[in-house]
């Protein structure tokens, strides 16, 4: 399994992905789930993937390979992020058309993606591409999108993220959301790949690989745990219970 | 969908269930998912259900009807909670054997249960009965069990519940876990049925139906939201990000 979250803010974007890939509990490995397509001053695109690893690797590798010269549109030539989302969806459909029937006897061949970034000439945008190859776009009302093991990390996002949240708080929230998932589910694990993108910069502001022993991750986790314990103790007791 | 949680503590048990039942988004109703089998001084058993409503109602009604006189064991005659769990599993299997093949063309006929309580002569216990009719028991190491829409409400339980948590804190935590789920998922909704059972009392200590406008629910939710916001702001900023 996997957990990836993308956050669309007035000030920019935050993308975060864990690194665990597994088939059952025996076959566990690390893999990078966040890939960049970027050229300073022209485009900064991040693509995160969840699902069958052979499928997601085939899609990402095909998209990368096509950038080195092909007749059709590529991630480095498309003019809008909408077109980039369509290209990811089309590539996913091609991979599934080739592989799905062979893979199904062994497991689920499907995959999904979060695509975020900015191309010169338009604003920064965030999309989720479904296994069917169709997609939805984030908005002020729906400022975050998740794929993979999404539920454990949702409550903190629901409470803290609005479109006008600043980038620093959104990074903090993304790490907390990831940590809640890591604590609850074995199939999600560090390192956490985190991209912070400031709008109109057209270059990665901060890209950080946060390892399990990262000082900031540990201080955030411990501060949150201790603070939550304190908050919990201070909350009112049920008045209808004898103490 | 549904969300039910059972917590096994040194001091007793907490059972909590939401009340929403739905088939799609059109057909929404309220239903009680927590049923008691109790006789003061002899037994106090709570049964919570999740899954296909026709299946769960058939199982619960059959269990109740059998208490009014049948040859085999009943929820009011079994000597241990282990036997009660087996009886629930057997009854579920009988219902599914009769209905499942007819229901499958329309949807999932399956159901699962949480059974908790105490029968005179043994200690208080907590079980989860799977759709297959088999079951597991909670222990000091695994002090809570969940069925239905379990993931949103798990992080707060993971952080706050241990076997030596007191009953009052466990009730508070159960309500918070329920509220996190209600906020994140449309298919889970109040009223919340909550049972607090003190071990060896062999009678319900507190049974409470918490409505959406309940003063305590609102004060807990608001206190938690405000406190979480404050905690979030006080947590350290990522040192590798410009402020």
**What is the full DSSP assignment across A147-204?**
EES-STTHHHHHHH--TT--HHHHHHHHHHHHHHHHHH-TT--SPEEEEEEETT--S-
Residue in A closest to B229 by C-alpha: A160
d(CA A135, CA A111) in angstroms, rounded, equals 13
On whether any CB of chain A is under 8 Å from the CB of B223, the answer is: yes
What A57-60 contacts at long range (C-beta under 8 Å, 24+ apart), as own/partner pairs, is: A58/A95, A58/A99, A59/A88, A59/A91, A59/A92, A59/A95, A59/A111, A59/A113, A60/A35
In tens, the pLDDT along A4-18 reads 999 999 999 999 999
In this prediction, residue A23 has a pLDDT band, given cuts at 50, 70 and 90, of low
- List the 174-203 stretch of A: residues with Cβ below 8 A of B: 175-176, 180, 183-184, 196
Please check the confidence at residue A26 and state whether its pLDDT lies above 70. no
- A·B CB contacts under 8 A: 115
On whether any CB of chain A is under 8 Å from the CB of B173, the answer is: yes
In this prediction, residue A240 has a pLDDT band, given cuts at 50, 70 and 90, of confident
In tens, the pLDDT along B157-179 reads 998 999 999 999 999 999 999 99
d(CA B135, CA A101) in angstroms, rounded, equals 36
Residue B69: DSSP 8-state: S
CB contact under 8 A, A184 and B154: yes
B238: left (phi over 0), alpha (psi -120 to 50) or beta: beta
Give residue A182's pLDDT: 87
Whole-model pTM: value is 0.87
* Mutation choice for A interface testing from B219, B232, B233, B236 by most A CBs within 10 A: B232
Nearby residues of A134 by Cβ (< 8 Å), 6 or more positions away = A89
Give residue A155's pLDDT: 87
Please check the confidence at residue B155 and state whether its pLDDT lies above 90. no
Number of residues that this document lists for chain A: 243
Average pLDDT value for chain B: 93
CA–CA–CA angle A208, A127, A124 (5° rounding): 65
Q: What crossing angle do the helices spanning A215-234 and B167-184 adopt, rounded to 10°?
A: 110
d(CA A9, CA A145) in angstroms, rounded, equals 12
On whether any CB of chain B is under 8 Å from the CB of A155, the answer is: yes
d(CA A73, CA A66) in angstroms, rounded, equals 8
Please check the confidence at residue A25 and state whether its pLDDT lies above 80. no
Mean pLDDT of B120-138: 97
Q: Does residue A4 contact residue A179 with C-beta atoms inside 8 Å? A: no
In this prediction, residue A116 has a pLDDT band, given cuts at 50, 70 and 90, of very high
Class assignment of domain B3-234?
alpha beta
**A3-233 carries CATH number 3.60.20.10:** yes
Q: How far is CA B239 from CA A89, A104, B234, in A?
A: 36, 45, 14
- The span from the first CA to the last CA of chain B, in angstroms, equals 42
CB contact under 8 A, B239 and A229: no
Give residue B243's pLDDT: 66
Residue extents of the structural domains in chain B = 3-234
* Mutation choice for B interface testing from A187, A232, A237 by most B CBs within 10 A: A232
Please check the confidence at residue B129 and state whether its pLDDT lies above 70. yes
Q: What are the φ and ψ backbone dihedral angles of B188, each rounded to 5 degrees? A: -125, 130
Give residue A57's pLDDT: 94
Give residue B58's pLDDT: 96
Q: How far is CA A201 from CA A65, A205, B82, in A?
A: 26, 8, 63
Nearby residues of B170 by Cβ (< 8 Å), 6 or more positions away = B7, B9, B14, B161, B196
CB contact under 8 A, B155 and A243: no
Q: What percent of chain A has pLDDT over 70?
A: 97
Give residue A227's pLDDT: 94
d(CA B157, CA B161) in angstroms, rounded, equals 5
Average pLDDT value for chain A: 93
Q: Does residue A176 contact residue A157 with C-beta atoms inside 8 Å? A: no
In tens, the pLDDT along A34-87 reads 999 999 999 999 999 999 999 999 999 999 999 988 788 999 999 999 999 999
């Amino acid at each position: 399994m996997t957990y990836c979250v993308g956050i669309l803010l007035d000030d920019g974007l935050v993308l975060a992905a864990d690194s665990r890939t597994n088939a059952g509990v025996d076959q566990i490995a690390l893999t990078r789930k966040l890939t960049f397509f970027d050229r300073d001053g022209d485009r900064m695109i991040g693509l995160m993937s969840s699902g069958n690893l052979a499928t997601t690797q085939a899609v990402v590798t095909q998209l990368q390979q096509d950038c080195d010269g092909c007749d059709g549109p590529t991630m480095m030539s498309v003019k809008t992020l909408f077109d980039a989302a369509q290209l990811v969806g089309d590539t996913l459909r091609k991979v599934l058309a080739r592989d799905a029937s062979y893979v199904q006897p062994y497991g689920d061949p499907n995959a999904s993606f979060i695509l975020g970034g900015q191309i010169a000439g338009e604003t920064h945008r965030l999309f989720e591409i479904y296994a069917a190859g169709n997609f939805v776009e984030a908005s002020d009302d729906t400022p975050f999108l998740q794929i993979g093991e999404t539920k454990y990390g949702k409550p903190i996002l629901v409470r803290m993220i609005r479109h006008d949240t600043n980038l620093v708080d959104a990074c903090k929230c993304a790490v907390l959301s990831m940590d809640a998932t890591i604590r609850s589910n074995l199939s999600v694990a560090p390192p956490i790949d985190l991209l912070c993108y400031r709008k109109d910069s057209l270059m990665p502001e901060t890209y950080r690989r946060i390892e399990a022993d990262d000082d900031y991750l540990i201080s955030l986790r411990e501060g949150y745990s201790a603070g939550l314990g304190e908050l919990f103790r201070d909350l009112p007791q049920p008045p209808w219970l004898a103490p």
